[in-house]
Amino acid sequence: MTRLVDVPAQFDDRSFEHFAASFAAGAAGGERLLFDAHATEWASPYGLVGLLVAGQAAHATGRERPLLTVPANPRVLSYWARAGFFQQASLLFEIHGKVPKVKPAEESDVLLPVTAVRAAEDVHQVVSHIQQRATAILTSQLGIDPKATMGFAMALSEACQNIVEHAGTGGWVAVQHYEWRRRLAKRVVVIAVGDAGVGFRHTLEPTQAKRFGDRWGDGAALEAALIQGVSRFRDPGRGQGLKGIRGYLSRWDGKIAIRSGTARIAIAPSWDDDAPLTEGLSAFPGSQVLLIIPEQGTGTP
């Protein structure tokens, strides 16, 4: 018996909850999962990374390897291939449909193809790669001061390190830039980092649960980490990473959102209407981090 998990037609952070609910329902049954992306017309890095996280979680339960039906649209299929998605997906899913053989990362809007992050060395490679690829795009197309492009690499490094330090498993990162016509009418750079690890609540529970008392849960854990800069370590130098990311995004009018377990927290600039904290969502494994940096200087619509 196979349970269907719908992949949304427009698969990004906004439609992610539909996907998470479908995944949670499917995962609860214990049957083999079929991730159906045949009607998917577009996926953001957040969607692609989220799909891998779900695949990893389904794979890890000891059930039969999950199935993935690839997008029917050849243009979408080609884009996913160039974004490096299928290289990673082939390790997790039994893929149904013909996947084009293309070299990832050379596509101009793929700043970093979907890349596995398991250890510190992977973070070194990500940072090294992004500096080579991103500097020109950040300065010429997003109007970010050349001096600040290093801050972008720092933010990316810290986001990836959350996987290495806390997840207890591997994860993925992807970076793309594109014209965000419907939501902002500007170009944006989007960083997505996700893992199917233990999540923020589990990581912080030993040191923070008592402090929060009845309020303790996924939402409180996210609040502690992102807003209060709390870490599971007592070392005062810990917890700087997310704080640093916040500082960088604030300087460039960017957005951060983190989803973990059944909650999602966001620090959204004026151009975005995301809720600061949403609880009671469908359970989804690990943690998913979204960073968005918009084009500078042309005003919000």
Q: Mark 147-166 with x for binding to other proteins (rule: CB under 8 A) and - for no binding.
A: x--xx-xx--xx--x--xx-
Per the document, the length of the chain is: 301
The only residue of 120, 228, 275, 300 in contact with other proteins, by rule CB under 8 A: 120
Neighbouring C-beta atoms of residue 40, cutoff 10 Å: 25
List C-alpha distances in Å: 266 to 136, 223, 225, 300: 28, 10, 12, 19
**What DSSP line would sit under 243-287, residue for residue?**
HHHHHHHHHTT-EEEEEEETEEEEE--TT----SEE-SPPPEEEE
71, burial (CB in 10 Å: exposed 0-12, middle 13-18, buried 19+): buried
Asked if 98 touches other proteins (CB under 8 A), the answer is: no
SS3 181: coil
The only residue of 143, 168, 170, 244 in contact with other proteins, by rule CB under 8 A: 244
Asked if 26 touches other proteins (CB under 8 A), the answer is: no
| Residue 53 or 126 having the CB closest to other proteins | 126
Compute how many residues bind other proteins; rule: CB under 8 A.
27
Asked if 282 touches other proteins (CB under 8 A), the answer is: no
Which range binds other proteins by CB under 8 A, 12-20, 74-82, 116-124, 270-278?
A: 116-124
Asked if 124 touches other proteins (CB under 8 A), the answer is: yes
List, in sequence order, every residue forming a beta bridge with 42; answer none if it has no partner.
10
- For 178, half-sphere exposure in the C-beta direction (CA atoms, 13 angstrom radius) is 17
Asked if 168 touches other proteins (CB under 8 A), the answer is: no
List of residues contacting other proteins (CB under 8 A):
120-121, 123-125, 127-128, 131, 147, 150-151, 153-154, 157-158, 161, 164-165, 236-238, 240-241, 243-244, 247-248
